[in-house]
Amino acid sequence: MALLAASPAIIRPRAVLRRALPRVPSASQVGFSTAAILGVGLLLSIVTTPDPLWWQLHFSRLGTFAAFSGHVFNATIIATSVGVVLFALRLNREMVQHSGTAVLTNRRAATIVPILVALLGINLSLVGFFPVNANEFVHDRGSTGAVFCFVVILSTSRWTLRGMHRVMSRASRLVALGLVATTAPYIGGFINLAAFELIVFSLIFWWLLLFARTIGRPADAPPPKPPTRTGSMQRTVVISPSAGMEHVAIATRDGMPTHSGMRAATHPRAAVPTRRLIHGHAAQRSDLAHHRARGGRTEVDRT
């Protein structure tokens, strides 16, 4: 028995393989990785481009050169499109888990939204596979189709994403305003196509990443209501035998007496009993004084 206890455990290849392989990444992790690939690839292409004035035209200018910068740009766009498609697959898996629940009431959203995101990635791949100097028509259709897919996602989010956290509705309104505020200056000629592309695709990726992080997030609980103050509706008049009119204490609803600064007219319900008690007390004091006076005179007459 001791030898069996001291013997090493049997190594199972499947268990070792499961530990060695990384876990399945979430949609948020895939999205952030894709955004990082896009950012690093664009920066590398910008730094190595032979045309320092590319920004006066558009980002697609970076992929027109038969040099290192052009290959990096096109490869980056293709890798980004693949990442967006994988992102859509992860979105589908996570949205299916929450569809039909309180955080995602629309069951069709788990199918519609990932399909539109995947189409966005497929259209984006056309930008990398067909540079603008090779096939301008397909290149432009790819970039326009990617933006169109996102506009459809954004415009239908009110129905497809019903039940999700309210941060998504706020983000959708902000992105919609941002797109409108960017399109108007571009049409007016105040900004060029490069600036327009930078702002639009930044808004698109920001919304998608926020959406991935919000899936399954429950709505905020309503703030607790303040406790209601309950008290007696009766008013009590307390009169000390040795107190005068100015020392009358009237207990209010909150239980805090209001002393000699308020007249009886400010408390109409307590005015009548207060006056009666005061007049009765004054009458008792006058009768007692009169009785003492009479008693004193009687004793003097007797003496």
pLDDT of res. 159: 87
Short-list 168, 167, 160, 27, CA closest to 104: 160
Reported as type and span, the H/E element at residue 238 is strand 237-238
How far, in Å, CA of 301 to CA of 189, rounded? Answer: 121
How, if at all, do strands 257-258 and 249-251 pair?
A: antiparallel
Tens-binned pLDDT, residue by residue, of the chain (303 aa): 444 445 455 556 565 545 644 578 888 899 999 999 999 999 999 999 998 899 888 899 998 988 899 999 999 999 999 999 999 999 999 888 887 787 777 888 889 999 999 999 999 999 999 999 889 999 999 999 999 999 999 998 888 888 788 888 899 999 999 999 999 999 988 989 999 999 999 999 999 999 998 887 776 555 556 655 555 455 555 555 554 555 444 444 444 444 444 444 444 444 445 445 445 555 555 665 555 555 554 444 444
Whole-model pTM: value is 0.65
The strand ranges marked E within 81-121 are none
Q: Which two tokens stand for residue 220?
A: 């905020």
Short-list 121, 206, 195, 198, CA closest to 172: 206
Short-list 249, 267, 268, 251, CA closest to 259: 249
How far, in Å, CA of 301 to CA of 298, rounded? Answer: 5
pLDDT of res. 165: 81
Looking at residue 148, its amino acid is F
Angle at 49 between CA 44 and CA 50, to 5 degrees: 160
Looking at residue 295, its amino acid is G
Q: What is the DSSP letter of 255?
A: S
How far, in Å, CA of 50 to CA of 184, rounded? Answer: 32
Beta-sheet strand order (sheet of 237-238): 237-238, 249-251, 257-258
